[in-house]
Amino acid sequence: MNNSLTTQERRTLETRSKSSFAMMIKIIILGLMNALAIWAVLVLFQDQQYGMLTALVVGSLVIDYIYISDRVYSWRFILPGTIFLALMVIYPIVFTIYVAFTNYGTGHLLSKAMAIEQYTSRYMLREDFPIYDVEVFKDESEDFAFLLTDSEGRQLVAVEGKAVLLENTSLQPVDADADGVYDRLGDYERQSTLSIFPYLNKLQKLSFEHEGLELKMRSPQEFGYYSRRYQYDPAWDVITDFETETDYYAQDGNFISKNQDVLDIGFKTTVGWRNFKNLFTDRRYLEPFVRVFIWTIMFALLSVAETFVLGLLLAVLLNDPKVKLRGLYRSILIIPYAMPAVITCLIWRGLFSTETGIINNILLLPLFGKAIPWFQDPFWAKVAVLIVNLWLGYPYMMLICTGALQSIPGELYEAAMVDGATGWRKFQTITFPLLLSQLTPLLISCFAYNFNNLNVIYLVTKGRPAIAGAITPTGATDILISYTYRMAFESGSGGDYGLAAAVSLIIFFIISGITMLNFKYLRAFEEVPQYD
């Protein structure tokens, strides 16, 4: 009995020890996470990102509570997945929806406050004030002082943000070797023009106040007077350009004058349904979008059709037991499916090259005496991407058709043979209907995949050749996904992320509709009947 109690007590002590160790590890990890969160909170507070700051504080408190309190023990296993779901899925979707209703893009990347700061920090040279010749001096701590001399011989000393008359400062120039050139300025040693070049970026940012104006380096040999070029009036929401004496009013993410002149830096702002309105009402956007949309549907349908027909044909041929070496043929035919699609697309791009490609130089020129402009002509460019997609897609169709064929009962064919059915009749009445009933969900999935098949389009043709007159970067072989990508990252005037996000939402709804159709066909949402 004593031994039994001793063992139980020992186990209890071991359990408590393990629990204490686990708690200590938990506290250390949570402490490190909270320390990182506090640092991030300070950074977000300085940047005035109050929304993200609130989310971070609330999230940190929730995590601490879940992993410390035993009342919500089960949430400890759900929380990691929930966090990754929110970061990797929910946040991108919400952010894309938000961007679709903004003018976010090149020229409109900054917030309004940041754009205003960019303008108000600009200076203009005051040509009505004198220009100073400069002599540069530097001390041991690499701080600089400048001796400035104007055309009338008046001299200023610029140091520590101030410029004062030479006679009013304790820093006096010293000509140690009496050669007429100052060697020192107080404790600062003279620097040659060549020696200051590594510091030029730093020196050009220095500013010295004098008589209400700013003295700044104009060149390594000259200083000039500068004043702020722009001033912002928050009451009227207007930026004034003192150089041109023009007022610019904030409007739709830009600062625009009464003469419709626009300042070069805009700001990000919400524009409502403007991006969608442009896509469906402005002909400059609508016509290229409609062409891309129609070709996207055609590309997806033709890709599914051609790969299914070829895959089914090969599967039927190789399903015949009379064919010898069927396993070898299947292994060879599946090679395109085993190779990385990126490498395959790049190889085919080289094969289709109009000038140096094997297809033109070895196959077409000797036979027909002319080459096909695969990447220059819209029709042949579309043919090229369909051929590449056929090469990439038929092995998958062959595999699923082979599996479906082997699941069809042989008794059906025997009964048909007794009735005198021919091979084509058996395929028409037995094989194809049964295959179609099994493969329709997969064909719908393949359609959805090819609807967003960026690899083939971008790697083979890059969406080209271009559609003449399109205001957006649009090519004859672009599908919606490549059209969106190029709009965001390849536009000649910069990326238009807002418009690209709007197209992304349209793609999302189309693919969602296809997915729901697939679920409906599979009856995935129907409840399984319960029997007593």
- Of the candidate CATH numbers 1.20.1740.10, 1.10.3720.10, 1.10.10.10, 1.25.40.10, the domain formed by 282-522 belongs to 1.10.3720.10
The conformational region for residue 471 under phi > 0 = left, psi -120 to 50 = alpha, else beta, is alpha
Query: 3-state DSSP call for residue 213?
Result: strand
User: In this structure, what are the phi and psi dihedrals at residue 316, rounded to the nearest 5 degrees?
Assistant: -65, -45
Closest by Cα among 306, 286, 283, 282 to 294 = 286
Q: How far apart, in Å, are the Cα atoms of 342 and each of 337, 348, 392, 408, 463?
A: 12, 10, 10, 36, 16
The tens place of each residue's pLDDT in the chain, 532 residues long, gives: 444 456 666 666 666 666 777 778 878 888 999 999 999 999 988 887 888 889 889 989 999 888 888 888 888 889 889 989 988 989 999 999 999 999 999 889 999 999 999 999 899 999 889 999 999 999 999 999 999 999 999 999 999 999 999 999 889 899 988 888 999 999 999 999 899 999 999 999 899 999 888 999 999 999 999 999 999 999 999 999 999 999 999 999 999 999 999 999 999 999 999 999 999 998 888 999 999 999 999 999 999 999 999 999 999 999 988 888 998 999 999 999 999 999 999 999 999 999 889 999 988 887 777 889 999 999 999 999 999 999 999 999 999 999 999 999 989 888 988 888 888 898 999 999 999 888 988 998 999 999 999 999 999 999 999 988 788 889 999 999 999 999 888 865 678 899 999 999 999 999 888 888 777 766 644 454 454 4
Residue 165: strand pairing partners: 156
CA angle 104, 106, 110 (to 5 degrees): 60
DSSP secondary structure of 458-522? HHHTTTPSBPTT-SS--BTT--HHHHHHHHHH--TT---HHHHHHHHHHHHHHHHHHHHHHHHHH
Starting at the earlier edge strand, list the strands of the sheet with 254-256.
230-233, 238-241, 246-251, 254-256
Distance CA 498, CA 472 (A): 13
Distance CA 206, CA 133 (A): 16
User: Can you tell me which residue has the tokens 């990102």?
Assistant: 49
User: In this structure, what are the phi and psi dihedrals at residue 446, rounded to the nearest 5 degrees?
Assistant: -65, -35
- By residue count, the chain amounts to 532
CA angle 267, 268, 274 (to 5 degrees): 120
**Residues 6 or more apart in contact with residue 511 via CB below 8 angstroms:** 448, 451, 452
Q: Are 238 and 245 in contact (CB under 8 A)?
A: no
339 DSSP 8-state letter? S
Query: 3-state DSSP call for residue 270?
Result: strand
- Signed CA dihedral, 465, 468, 472, 476: sign only: negative
Give the start-to-end residue ranges of the domains of the chain: 15-73, 125-228, 282-522
369 DSSP 8-state letter? S
Helices 341-351 and 378-406, axial angle in degrees (round to 10) = 140
Distance CA 254, CA 260 (A): 11
E-strand stretches of 290-411? none
Residue 337's identity, in one-letter code, is Y
Distance CA 249, CA 500 (A): 27
Residue 124: strand pairing partners: 227
Distance CA 298, CA 37 (A): 50
- Signed CA dihedral, 365, 366, 367, 369: sign only: positive
Closest by Cα among 425, 114, 470, 505 to 286 = 470
Q: Are 364 and 371 in contact (CB under 8 A)?
A: yes
- Of the candidate CATH numbers 2.40.430.10, 1.10.10.10, 3.20.20.150, 2.60.40.10, the domain formed by 125-228 belongs to 2.40.430.10
Distance CA 509, CA 274 (A): 19
